[in-house]
Amino acid sequence: MGKINIVQAINDALSSEMERDSSVIVIGEDIGKDGGVFRATQGLLDKFGPKRIIDTPLSELGLVGTAVGLAAYGLKPVVEIQFMGFLYAGLEQVFSHAARIRSRSRGRFTCPMVIRTPYGIGIKPPELHSESTEAFFCHMPGVKVVVPSNPYNAKGLLISAIRDPDPVIFLEASRLYRSIKSDVPEGDYTVPLGQAEILQEGTDITVVSWGTMVHKAAEAAVDFDCEIIDLLTLRPYDEEAVIRSVKKTGRLVIVYEATRFGGFGAEVSAMVAEEAMEHLKGPILRVAAPDAVIPMARLEDDYMPSIERIKKAYTTVMEY
């Protein structure tokens, strides 16, 4: 179908899965006639009708909570939450129920649902529209966390997420929604969950990143020989791919836009320290946001790791 952006790829994935599987429904706010605040569900109401593309009350707890019941009953709800910060109202439902029902019922009930939500900095929105708190979800056993980085993997990963038998938090970088286009095949294909992609091979520095920052990490790498790993899935993540690469390069820089303290980079860093310490030629560095809440639009570029800061980290590990 030629070059499309991430919004179109998401739309295409939803459409293709809904055609294939009649138990897939989409629920959310303004997803019907309006096509969603980012237009990811545009045209789907006409195609699938109001029993499968369902506009709901403004109620994030209600969306996630009812999705638990829908999923347990046998449907496959894809929940659209307009912005990651709005999902906080539904966190108890994610943590106390969606993540645990398989375990609490010893496999009798399951929760195959997807929560799609835009995350991260980049579109100059009002407050609390730029959250990047993926680490909260990564800390919770029972959920999976997926972060696509381009239209091709967005479509393939979303199809995999919908088919997955467990709840998946699907984080779509709002900055990337319309800023990159790529070739996306028509119809049905999957990109497997839990597998990283080696974006670029290299010998000197392993760079681990996800979402928006994958592109910045790559841009900063022009003068370095970096092996860039796009994790794509954060829970469960491809630990093997990271270890393999670190064993080759001996250096690791983790680039992400969330607060560095307690972020997902800490997990990657600790894991490599445990598994591949003897291969390291220098310290593991994390390039991430400062230990402060995300500012509003005027300061967000100062908050987000810049190309310069990433380059500085590459230089530091090379000169160590």
Under rule CB under 8 A, residue 61 binds other proteins: yes
Q: Which of 246, 186, 182, 175 is nearest to 214 (CA)?
A: 175
Neighbour tally for 124: CB within 10 Å: 12
User: How far apart, in Å, are the Cα atoms of 299 and each of 244, 302, 303?
Assistant: 38, 5, 6
Report strand pairing: 24-28 vs 233-235: unpaired
Helix (H) or strand (E) segment spanning residue 286: strand 285-289
Least Cβ distance, residue 232 to other proteins (angstroms): 15
Tokens coding 102: 């398989």
**Which span (70-78, 150-158, 284-292, 301-309) binds other proteins, by CB under 8 A?**
70-78
- Over the Cα atoms of the chain, what is R_g? 19
Judge whether 129 counts as a catalytic residue.
yes
Least Cβ distance, residue 72 to other proteins (angstroms): 6
Least Cβ distance, residue 38 to other proteins (angstroms): 23
Tokens coding 175: 């900055």
E strands within 142-259?
144-146, 168-173, 182-183, 197-200, 205-209, 226-230, 233-235, 252-259
Q: Residue count at the site for other proteins (CB under 8 A)?
A: 46
Where in 232-291 is the site for other proteins (CB under 8 A)? 236, 239-240
249: left (phi over 0), alpha (psi -120 to 50) or beta: alpha
Residue 245 vs 259, nearer CB to other proteins: 245
Where in 75-134 is the site for other proteins (CB under 8 A)? 75, 77, 89, 92-93, 96-97, 101-110
Please give the Cα distance from 85 to 174 (Å, whole number): 13
Residue 24 vs 285, nearer CB to other proteins: 24
Least Cβ distance, residue 15 to other proteins (angstroms): 19
Residue 54 vs 198, nearer CB to other proteins: 54
**Which span (52-60, 146-154, 216-224, 258-266) binds other proteins, by CB under 8 A?**
52-60
Q: Which residues bind other proteins (CB under 8 A)?
A: 25, 51, 54, 56-57, 59, 61-62, 64-75, 77, 89, 92-93, 96-97, 101-110, 141-142, 144, 164-166, 194, 236, 239-240
Could you give the residue numbers annotated as active site? 129
